[in-house]
Every structure is written in structure tokens, then in C-alpha cells.
Amino acid sequence: MADMDARKRRILQAIIDDYIDTAEPVGSRTIVKKCDLGLSPATIRNEMADLEDMGYLKQPHTSAGRVPSLSGYRLYVDELMTQYSLTMEEINALRNTMAVKIDYLEKVIAKTTQVLSRLTNYTAVISAPTLTAGSLKQLRLIGVDAHWMLVVVITNQGMVKDKKIQFAAALTPEKISRLESVLNTQFTNVDFSQITLDSLYTVAEQSGIEMELMLPIIEFMRACVKAEAESDVYLDGAANMLNFPEYTDIERVKKFLNAVSNRMDVMRTIQEVQSENDGISIRIGNENPGSGFEDCSIITSRYKIGNSMQGVIGIIGPVRMDYKKAVSVLKSTTGLLSKKMLEITGESPGKPERK
């Protein structure tokens, strides 16, 4: 990098920008036509040869132009790429998504994943926020038949979970209504970790409701926000990769589709990428070993809800990704999603963590 003067850096930047746009090897005459560098094709060819010797470019065929190497892409995203300004259409698409009256986190995340994929034309992945604690906002109990009940739990963080539970004792509408009223009265805004057997026995004695009815419901409520449980993963746009010339190879397509088929593995991959820092993280090609995404680039960011919840947003695309646009869209999405989550949960923004 010590020999990388300003002229070489400008030429490398121009080559990568053009290759990202066209997917065609870039020749010296292309750079002369598209970039006002005041250099002759012969001078640019010499500089391109130097950049190839330095490992930043490669030549797929003897008579062809150059394409970026993985080292070239890394230098580009770290130091050379310019900032992309979102269009009004792109800004409005994101804002309109967040402006929709949605009360539950899952719906917001699912919608955001779709819009992020559409704006970038890549595969978008968002993990639901991981909870370190949780409390009840509302409990709904719905009788299915004499022995089955649908339990719907809405937490203060906006999570909505439901489960059908079977009971040995016969259920009547009056008993279900009474049980719902008592549990909502006693446990709304109470941290689930603070609901003990002793507190349940006390409620059972005071209300006259059997422990056999309350215990399975309380256990389900706790399971909804169990800290060690893995987050849900929302993924959209896997088919977008088929639109890129890099993925005309059927084996490469199979490898990618197999990698995204297990959403838990995808989540672990984007969380590992994001663990590198709190801002934007980018891994390129073989910087993703053993994940199935060695032929892809992954860009991630972390959204936060106060100090109690956080999740990861990721974009997966070809190595020839439009990095500057993807980074800009991801930054805007992260900020708007965090703000929307705060509106839903009622959490305070939280104080910055000390370094």
C-alpha cells in the first residue's frame, strides 16, 4: 500500500466502479472515456499493470481488461468508495414502511426485510431482537374446545406468540374469562423472571383458580422471552441472486440456495460478521470461510431498542456488489428500524455504553 499513489487509487476506484456497474472486464480506453483523468490509454495501461502486480487487479484473459481481486475490493470498501445518496423514491419507500400502523415487532421486521431486499436487489436478512428480559403487556385466552385453549402472549417489547395448550380439566367460557382476567391483573408489567411458584400459589389461593390451569400458561409466557432462545430470522430475496451473471453457474446457485435454506445458520453467520464492531461490517468472498457464502459479500449492521434488545440486519450479495449503495441503504434502514421499534415498545432510547 505504500506504493499506492493518488493516481493509482483513482484508477483502481474507477475500474471497480465500472466493473460493479457492467460486470465486464475494464480496459484502459473505458477509463479514458468515463473518467476525466487527463491520461493517455498507454499510461493507464501501465498503471493497471502495476495494480495487477500489486494484487489489486487480475486479468481473466490475456486480451481482456482487468477485474478487481478480493484485495482490490477490500481496499475499495475500506478507503476508496464514495458515499451514495439515496434517491427520494428509496427514502420514501423506507419511510412509508415505518409509517404503516404496525403494532408488533415481527410484522415490522418482516416488512422491512422485504423492502430492504427490493431496494438493494440482494438477499436481506434481519434477526428479531434478542431479549434479556421481558414482561407481559396483554394475555389473551381463547377456548378451542372443552380441553384445548389458544394462549396469545403480547410482551411489552411488542413480541406476539401463541400456542395451543391442552388441559385435563374441562374448560368453560366463564372459567377461561376468569383465568384471563386474573393473570392479566396479577402479572401485567411483571418481569417474567420474577414470577415464582410461591407467587403462583398465592394467586391461586386468592382467586380460587387451580394451579393446573395457570402453570402451563406461565411456563409458555417465560419461554417466549427466554434469554438463551435463538432469535427468529426473517429472510427475503434469495431468488435475486439468480439475476446476476455470476450465478449462471448451476453449482454456485445450488451452493448459495443451500446456504440460505437454514435460517439459523444464516443468522449465526451475520451475527459473526457483525461481532467485529458496532457499526457497519463488511466481509468479502473468502473472508466468509465455512459459511457457504465464500462466493458472496455480506454487509451487516446492528439495530438497538434501548439497552435491553438488539438485532442484526444483513445484506448478502455477489462479491461484485454495489457496496456504496448497499451501505447507504443499510445505514438508513438501521436508523429508521431502531426508531420504529422504540415507538412500538415504548422503550427509552438508552444511554450510550461507555468505551
What does the mean pLDDT of the chain come to?
Answer: 86
| Range 305-312 average pLDDT | 74
Confidence of residue 339 (pLDDT cuts 50, 70, 90): confident
Same domain, 125 and 235: yes
Of residues 137 and 322, which shows the higher confidence score?
Answer: 322
Contacts of 197 (CB under 8 A, 6+ apart): none
Domain match, 143 and 273 both: no
Mean pLDDT to the nearest integer, 331-350: 78
Range 272-300 average pLDDT: 90
Residue 150, all three cell numbers: 389458544
Residue 98 has pLDDT above 90, yes or no: no
User: Is residue 134 pLDDT above 80, yes or no?
Assistant: no
**Final residue of a structural domain among 224, 240, 271:** 224
106 within 8 A of 129, measured Cβ to Cβ: no
Do residues 60 and 10 share a domain? yes
Helix pair angle (197-207, 173-187), 10° resolution: 130
Question: Do residues 303 and 176 share a domain?
Answer: no
At CA 253, angle to CA 248 and CA 257, rounded to 5? 155
Side-chain-facing half-sphere of 19: CA atoms under 13 Å: 29
Where in the chain does DSSP place strands (E)? 57-58, 67-68, 123-127, 130-131, 136-143, 148-155, 160-166, 233-236, 281-284, 296-305, 309-318
Q: What band does 3 get if pLDDT is binned at 50, 70 and 90? A: low
Range of the domain at 170: 136-224
Comparing CA positions, the residue from 24, 41, 43, 19 lying closest to residue 32 is 41
Cα separation, 310 vs 130, in Å, equals 6
pTM: 0.72
Quick one: average pLDDT of 100-111? 77
The 10 Å CB-count burial string (b at 16+, else e) for 263-280 is: eeebbebbbbbbeeeeeb
**Least confident interval from 27-31, 33-37, 124-128, 184-188:** 33-37
The residue out of 224, 256, 273 marking a domain boundary is 224
Using one digit for the tens of pLDDT, what is the confidence trace for 219-236?
A: 887 776 554 344 578 999
- The percent of residues above 90 in pLDDT, for the chain, comes to 53
One domain for residues 179 and 214: yes
Domain identity same for 337 and 278 = yes
List C-alpha distances in Å: 264 to 178, 229, 230, 261: 39, 12, 8, 9
**Cβ contact 209:230 at 8 Å:** no
116 & 251 share domain: yes
Domain total for the chain? Answer: 3
Is residue 355 one of the residues assigned to a domain?
no
Query: Is 136 in a helix, a strand, or coil?
Result: strand
